[in-house]
Amino acid sequence: MENLIEVRGLVKKYKELIAINNVDLDVKKGKILGLLGPNGSGKTTLINCILSLLDFNKGSIKICGEEMTPESYHIKEKIGVVFQDVGVFEELTVYENIDYFCSLYINDKEKRKKYVNGAIDLVGLNDFKKFVPKKLSGGLLRRLNIACGIAHKPEIIILDEPTVAVDPQSRNNILEGIKKLNKEGATIIYTSHYMEEIDLICDDIVILDKGKVIAKGTSEELKNSIEVNEKIKFDTKKLSQAVLKEIKEDKNVIEALYKDGSCEVIYKKGNNNLLNLIKTLNKHNIEYEAIHLSMPTLNDVFLELTGKDLRD
Amino acid sequence: MFRSVYKNTFKILIRDKITLFWTIMFVVLLAIMFKMTFSTLDEIDKFETLPIAASKEVLQDEYFKLYLETIEKEKYIKLIMSDDNNANELFEKKKIAAYIKDEENIVVGKSTSRIKETIVKSLMDGYIQNKSLVMNILIENPNVNLDEILKFNTFIKDESQKSINIVSTYFYTLIGMQAIYSYLWGLKVMYMYEANLSTQGKRNTISPINKKKSILASIIAVWTISIITSLFCLGFISFILSVDIGNKLFGILLIILLGTFTGVSFGSFIAVSNKQNIEFKNGIGVGITMMWSFFAGMMSSYIKILIERYIPVFNKFNPVALITDGLYSLAINNAGIRFYENMIYLIIISVIFVFGTMFFVRGKKYESL
Ligand SMILES: Nc1ncnc2c1ncn2[C@@H]1O[C@H](COP(=O)(O)OP(=O)(O)OP(=O)(O)O)[C@@H](O)[C@H]1O
Ligand SMILES: [Mg+2]
């Protein structure tokens, strides 16, 4: 499949600090690529390098097969970016703001009007067209920020944590909008440190930590690549150390923890994990309830690869 | 593209009420305050014939009498014969400005302004210092034009001009300060376009629009706004507060154009030349503008004279002083070399700021954002 964006061997240093350490990245046409990483992992830096905003020390960046430079106006035309920080004019209304940024790309007034209204529809700001940014709530402001970045219907859309500090309803609204843009043909880079979002909307996922790509693949591939395969959780009033030890002795168990009346057992790939657990519990006449079985999450992937939690 | 950028920037920034308020109302309020402070000095705006009383004794000196009569003919003074008692009465009724008791003893009325006092004293000095000369001339030709010989005319003209302009200078400085306050607009434009200064700047930078052209169009847009605000303040000072700004429209317009451009380029230079936050940059702008205004004589015109005497080069690179001096030289009808020299220095300063700005934004990519 055709790569719209190709990053090879990218290194970016801020003085001593290596913010991007030899990163390769492929963004396939028509896909949503998720860039997952904790705070400070280098997501924003990587994006700014791709956009030719930031100078970098080593490596190459190609967009649509061409070297990206600050003068690549014909490439810039195709890109829409939603930056992490809200960047709108306080002096302009919602409509005027979107129109302003759209006018940097679209000259034709009629066409622009259609596009601006389309963007307003997409992010659901129809009732707020005449509002100035100051009068918008945090979530609505984020939606405006998004509309300003995508109104010109770009082929490539880059969104840097567009859902930070947004309530769940706005968040869903935003995620749906992004999916819709993708369905209409846009290729998307989506960064976040919310793994659920990434898991939900992205076709491909790249996990960044300390400026390095530590894993990439589809959600399935990533989850299959780790040792953890399933997690079983159940509640019980009492669980002796001896029983816990016996549970741990199962060759498939990676870890078993009991705390505050709740036990979590983490298993490798294997058959009959649940059955074996229940057998052990029954043998010791332990009453249990609320048994819950779950598949690994991206957080488990991150945990296993780095030894730390994604959400701190 | 150029036109639409110009239009957009104009539209966005003209709505920035806070900046508009500061660049207009601050100056208007200061001007009103100045006017109230100086309104007591209004009388000196015009030089009038001074009513002066002289004692019978002093008029017995024929040459002195002749001298006084001669300058009375020239309409510098109006002579009234009097004595001590009568003079007191005349002072009370404010009918006279001074009473010449004898050659070395001149009484000046309590309500007589300093300027008038100076004029009376200098007329007397003119006589005493040149007594023998004056006597000889008057003996030979009582109808001589003393003016020519003693240069009263230029002296009094200068004296009265200076008095007009000491007051007006404060307003000229205010106009200068206002023009330099346009730095606020220059600052804002750079924040609109520089990716390391704002997210709007990032958006503009990643757009397919040529950044240099956009900045140029936007600078011209804010320059337009600055010119409008400047002309507004100038109109207010001239028409509402009736401060004399002369009638050399072309010269005044040139000052406003160059002055506001200096302000705008100053602002863009502050914006890109350092890594401080915007509050700090604004602080630098206000601070330097105030300092320039101070040394241009806004608090006391004496400061300007001191600077001109001891470190003249300082005010050559002080745009507020250059604007003040430019307006002054227009008002005293001396729009020659002095005026153009001021304008040339303004151009030099703006060119320095423009090149300084270009030096800092010349990189195409940023080291850090
Ligand atoms: N202008 C800068 N100067 C110096 N260091 C910087 C600068 N910008 C970022 N960094 C550092 O580079 C690293 C990567 O930062 P970056 O902003 O790219 O992370 P991020 O993944 O976007 O984080 P977040 O989720 O918080 O947005 C961090 O360690 C950060 O401290
Ligand atoms: Mg970031």
What atom in ligand 1 is closest to the CA of residue A211?
Answer: 14
Question: For residue B130, what is the domain's CATH number?
Answer: 3.40.190
Percent of chain A with pLDDT over 90: 59
Residues B135 and B31 in one domain: no
Which residues constitute the domain of residue B304?
A: 2-42+168-361
A16 within ligand 1 shell (Cβ under 6 A): no
- Any domain includes B199: yes
| pLDDT of residue A246 exceeding 50 | yes
Closest Cβ opposite residue A105 in set B208, B367, B369? B208
- Using the beta-carbon criterion (under 8 Å), do A54 and B202 form an inter-chain contact? no
Interface of B with A in 171-200 (CB under 8 A): 195, 198-200
Residues B83 and B116 in one domain: yes
- Using the beta-carbon criterion (under 8 Å), do B200 and A89 form an inter-chain contact? yes
pLDDT value for A270? 78
- Among A10, A16, A17, which is best to mutate for testing ligand 1, by the most ligand atoms less than 8 A from CB? A17
Which ligand number lies closest to the CA of residue A17? 1
CA distance A87 to chain B (A): 5
CA distance B195 to chain A (A): 7
pLDDT value for B333? 66
Number of domains in chain B: 2
Protein residue whose Cα sits closest to atom 2 of ligand 1: B368
- Using the beta-carbon criterion (under 8 Å), do B12 and A79 form an inter-chain contact? no
Q: Which residues of B touch A105 (CB under 8 A)?
A: 207-208
Q: Residue A160 Cα, ligand 2 centroid: separation in angstroms?
A: 7
pLDDT value for B204? 94
- Any domain includes B14: yes
Q: Residue A35 Cα, ligand 2 centroid: separation in angstroms?
A: 11
Residues B146 and B188 in one domain: no
- Any domain includes B368: no
Q: Which residue of A has its CA nearest to B366?
A: A54
Residues B123 and B187 in one domain: no
- Using the beta-carbon criterion (under 8 Å), do B208 and A89 form an inter-chain contact? no
Q: Residue A19 Cα, ligand 1 centroid: separation in angstroms?
A: 7
Residue scoring higher pLDDT (A219 or A113) = A113
Alpha-carbon span A306 to B75, nearest angstrom: 99
Q: Which residue of A has its CA nearest to B212?
A: A71
- Using the beta-carbon criterion (under 8 Å), do A73 and B210 form an inter-chain contact? yes
CA-nearest of B326, B295, B298 to B308 is B295
- Any domain includes B162: no
Give the A:B interface size as CB pairs under 8 Å: 74
Q: Which domain-ending residue is among B126, B156, B186? A: B156
Query: Does the model's ipTM exceed the 0.90 cut?
Result: no
| pLDDT of residue A52 exceeding 50 | yes
Q: In the 3-class helix/strand/coil scheme, how is chain A assigned residue by residue?
A: CCEEEEEEEEEEEECCEEEEEEEEEEEECCCEEEEECCCCCCHHHHHHHHCCCECCCEEEEEECCEECCCCCHHHHCCEEEECCCCCCCCCCCHHHHHHHHHHCCCCCHHHHHHHHHHHHHHHCCHHHCCCCHHHCCHHHHHHHHHHHHHCCCCCEEEEECCCCCCCHHHHHHHHHHHHHHHHCCCEEEEEECCHHHHHHHCCEEEEEECCEEEEEECHHHHHHHCCCCEEEEEECCCCCHHHHHHHHHCCCEEEEEEECCEEEEEECCCCCHHHHHHHHHHHCCCCCEEEEEECCCHHHHHHHHHCCCCCC
pLDDT value for B144? 65
B366 within ligand 1 shell (Cβ under 6 A): no
Residues B58 and B122 in one domain: yes
A53 within ligand 1 shell (Cβ under 6 A): no
Alpha-carbon span B102 to B54, nearest angstrom: 8
Asked if A301 contacts A223 with a C-beta cutoff of 8 angstroms, the reply is yes
- Any domain includes B369: no
Residue scoring higher pLDDT (B203 or A223) = B203
Residues B228 and B127 in one domain: no
Q: Which residues of B touch A104 (CB under 8 A)?
A: 203-204, 207-209
Res. A218 pLDDT band, cuts 50 70 90: very high
Residues B7 and B72 in one domain: no
Q: Report the residue of B18, B200, B213, B361 to disrupt the A interface, i.e. the one with the largest count of A CBs within 10 Å.
A: B200
Q: Which domain-ending residue is among B103, B127, B156? A: B156
Least confident piece of the model among A81-90, A267-276, B36-45, B199-208: B36-45
What atom in ligand 1 is closest to the CA of residue A41?
Answer: 21
Residues B267 and B334 in one domain: yes
- Any domain includes B32: yes
pLDDT, mean of residues A188-209: 92
Helix H or strand E segment including B134? helix B131-140
Residue indicated by tokens 């300003």:
A148
Protein residue whose Cα sits closest to atom 24 of ligand 1: A39
Closest Cβ opposite residue A76 in set B16, B201, B208? B208
Point out which residues pair with A29 in neighbouring strands: none
| pLDDT of residue A259 exceeding 90 | no
Residues B230 and B125 in one domain: no
- Using the beta-carbon criterion (under 8 Å), do A81 and B206 form an inter-chain contact? yes
Point out which residues pair with B54 in neighbouring strands: B81, B100
Q: Which domain-ending residue is among B156, B188, B215? A: B156
- Any domain includes B94: yes
pLDDT value for B44? 46
- Using the beta-carbon criterion (under 8 Å), do A87 and B12 form an inter-chain contact? no
Per-residue pLDDT of chain B (369 residues; tens, 9 = 90+): 888 999 999 999 999 988 888 888 888 998 998 888 776 655 444 556 778 888 888 888 877 887 788 777 766 778 888 888 888 888 887 778 888 887 777 777 777 776 677 777 777 776 776 677 777 777 777 666 666 655 555 555 554 454 455 678 888 999 999 999 999 999 999 999 999 999 999 999 999 998 889 999 999 999 999 999 999 999 999 999 888 887 788 999 999 999 999 999 999 999 999 989 999 999 999 999 999 999 988 877 677 777 877 888 888 899 999 999 898 888 776 557 888 999 999 999 999 999 999 999 877 788 888
- Any domain includes B366: no
- Using the beta-carbon criterion (under 8 Å), do A53 and B366 form an inter-chain contact? yes
Interface of B with A in 2-21 (CB under 8 A): 4, 8, 12-13, 15-16
pLDDT value for B50? 78
Residues B203 and B318 in one domain: yes
Say what the pTM is: 0.79
What atom in ligand 1 is closest to the CA of residue A43?
Answer: 21
pLDDT value for B43? 47
Residues B95 and B226 in one domain: no
The neighbourhood of ligand 2, an ion, using CB within 5 A, equals A 43-44, 84
Residues B102 and B142 in one domain: yes
pLDDT digits (tens, 9 = 90+) for A121-173: 999 999 999 999 999 988 899 999 999 999 999 999 999 999 887 888 888 88
Q: Which residue of A has its CA nearest to B17?
A: A91
Q: Which residues of B touch A77 (CB under 8 A)?
A: 208
Alpha-carbon span A183 to A122, nearest angstrom: 13
